[in-house]
Amino acid sequence: MNITKRPSAGLPLYSVLGVAISVMVSLLVFSCATARKYDPGAPKVAIARASDAEIAKYGPNFLVNPFKEPSIIVLGKTYDFYIVKISLNLDKQTKIKVIASSQGPSGADTPAAYTQAEFVHFWDVVSNEGGPNDGEYERRKTTIERTVIPELSFSEGSGQNSYFLVFVGKHPVKRPITYEVQVILDSGEAFVFSETLE
């Protein structure tokens, strides 16, 4: 589900320009996916928890940065995110399957991994499909479309690319919680990442 928020004809020119400039900046700067050439000396797949620095470069708060948890003044944080970065280094077009899971205490709700369309929909619901600021909405949505894994099964071209996979859970997520991500290539090679938060 991809929802594009467009300014209405009645909006003043500066609002339209603001949206256009915001989208252009996002396209040029706020990108996780890259287009570098295949490096035979680097691993085909690397999986790790995204660092705070990697997340911070997309903006200072959740109004523009989709990787910052939403919060309400009275209630505080409403969701917890756990973000995994999947880096690919492929010598040819490759079919990829991702298996993502989380396991917590017995009976506890556990975070779910969101693909690109699911994460866009999550923010549509949380922000009431954009709220009052079209520029912030477009920037956040564009960042998701350029950085979050497209699907759990997809085809990727040759070269180096990286994507975020976001686990979303209701705050507070009960611990201990274990996150596991497997990336399986069509050659049969499998790569596994796991981390337990106490």
Tens-level pLDDT at each residue, the chain (198 residues) = 333 333 334 444 434 444 444 444 444 444 455 569 999 999 999 999 999 999 999 999 998 999 999 988 888 899 999 999 999 999 999 999 999 999 999 999 999 999 999 999 999 888 875 555 788 888 999 999 999 999 999 999 999 999 999 999 999 999 999 999 999 999 999 999 999 999
Q: Which pLDDT score is estimated for 118?
A: 98
Q: Which pLDDT score is estimated for 15?
A: 40
Q: Which pLDDT score is estimated for 136?
A: 85
Q: Which pLDDT score is estimated for 22?
A: 45
134-147 and 13-28 helices, crossing angle to 10°: 20
Q: Which pLDDT score is estimated for 137?
A: 84
Listed by start position, the domains of the chain span 13-197
Q: Which pLDDT score is estimated for 27?
A: 41
Q: Which pLDDT score is estimated for 135?
A: 83
Measured CA angle at 130 (ends 15, 10), to 5 deg: 35
Q: Which pLDDT score is estimated for 131?
A: 57
CATH 2.60.40.10 fits 13-197, yes or no: yes
